[in-house]
Amino acid sequence: MKSIEELKAIREKARGDLNLRQEDIGNNTRVVVGMATCGIAAGARPVLASCVEEVHRRGLTDVTVTQTGCIGVCRLEPIVEVFVPGEEKVTYVNMTPEKAAQVIAEHVVNHKVKTEYTIGANQ
């Protein structure tokens, strides 16, 4: 850190990331990452970070990224659930940061479910 301006920029970026992760009751699409111990052990932290980064990079203001505890299918962790208003929840399993970025790009932005990553395709 070289200046107070640089510190302020870091603070504003952190605030923006935090806002992306806070649940909104409105009409937002929600991306929920399972962050119980099973999910964390399987790699959920980088998956969550990838979701937040991709939403931020694309400037999506109507998407909320949040975390939850155990989703209940530990053998398929990391798990990401996507809730689009007016549509059925989609559960993605065995996620990686790369797959998470694809889910944001394809499902959240282009409304095309990545069926090869869903729970039905991986049971």
E strand intervals along the chain:
29-34, 63-68, 80-83, 90-92
Across the chain, mean pLDDT equals: 88
> Residue 18: its pLDDT value, please?
61
Q: How far apart are CA 28 and CA 78, in angstroms?
A: 23
For residue 21, give the CATH number of its domain: 3.40.30.10
- Determine the pLDDT at residue 56: 93
Q: What is the pLDDT of residue 68?
A: 94
Q: How many domains does the chain have?
A: 1
Rounded to 5°, the CA angle 118-24-93 comes to 15
Q: Which residues of the chain have pLDDT under 70?
A: 1, 15-26, 121-123
pLDDT tens by residue, 27-54 = 789 999 999 999 999 999 999 999 999 9
Q: Is the pTM of this model over 0.95?
A: no
Domain span holding position 23: 4-121
